[in-house]
Amino acid sequence: MDIITTKNLTKKFNDLIAVDDISFTVKKGEIFGFLGPNGAGKTTTIKMLTTLLNPTHGSAEVSDFDIIKERDKVRKNIGVVFQEPALDTELTGEENLDFHARMYGISRDKRKSRIDDVLHLVDLEDKKDVLVKTYSGGMKRRLEIARGLMHYPTVLFLDEPTLGLDAQTRRAIWDYIKKMNKGEGTTIFLTTHYMDEADYLCDRVGIIDQGKILVIDSTTDLKNNVGNDVITLSCSDTDGLIKRLQEEPWIKNTKKHDSFVTLGVKKGEEKIPVIIEIAQGLQIKIKSISVRKPTLDDVFLYYTGRTIRDQEPENPMKEIARMHHRRG
């Protein structure tokens, strides 16, 4: 059963197309990852799905409610944790949650038990009476996730939930996300540009770049599409070597990048001597060669021709502001 559906969803800011005619679905109960660099259209998509932005074209439904015609019903069924912190740091953790619950009309009795439940879920029971301004970055993020769950949402949107956190705290947040997905039965829509985060958390991943969805599949299938092993090499004649290797039946795919070539193959270690022999026969000099199992970095490189951090743009809203300033 699909809990999110989008059809030809598009958002333009004057001449800038932030989201470009995308269509996809998210299944009930899954963790769905939206993967792409900063400025790819991830946050703009979330803002449309959470009714904070109207699409320029297209449509979408969340929990069977139209994001334009039934905005209030959409909002009652979703929780949102955006990149920017939105906690009242002069209140305690419990007071932040209580205020949020009141805004959603949750009764006093239910508020108390629900606060206890979500604090337990994110392991903050012993910090509930402490002012949020004394919390660490990871604790604040966990409290924001707890707040997003207070009103029993069917879908929780997490926009770069571990951005700026250290590796150990990020891993702890991942575990909390998995726990609430299983324990609460909440569908998670997650945006990230961390490949390891998407790989660890997500049932399926959609790769978005420059406003367009390039591919959607499970992380396992995406990596298998690249090849069971990835051989990376640089040589004196990449075009000549690729042309020759494409004749070999054991080459699953080839991709040329700026200064190197990636090959998807089975049993990569056994194929390295064969590749070197082919290159020598063509009088092509191999400068470097390595083999490893594919990652989502390889998937992104395969579909976009660059790594996710290559020429990573700033926040798209800053670019929009600059455009308005130049026109003004």
pLDDT tens digits, residue range 258-293? 788 999 998 899 999 999 999 999 999 999 999 998
Domains of the chain and any CATH numbers:
2-222 (3.40.50.300), 228-293 (3.30.70.920)
pLDDT for 298: 85
CA distance 36 to 299: 11
Tokens representing residue 314 in the block = 């700033």
pLDDT for 21: 95
pLDDT for 322: 40
pLDDT for 309: 60
Q: What is the pTM of this model?
A: 0.79
Backbone angles phi, psi at 205, to 5 degrees: -135, 135
Residues of the chain with pLDDT below 50 are 311-328
pLDDT for 308: 67
pLDDT for 211: 94
Tokens representing residue 89 in the block = 């740091």
pLDDT tens digits, residue range 202-211? 999 999 999 9
User: Which residues are CB-contacts of 74 (< 8 A; sequence separation ≥ 6)?
Assistant: 50, 51, 62, 63, 65, 66, 67
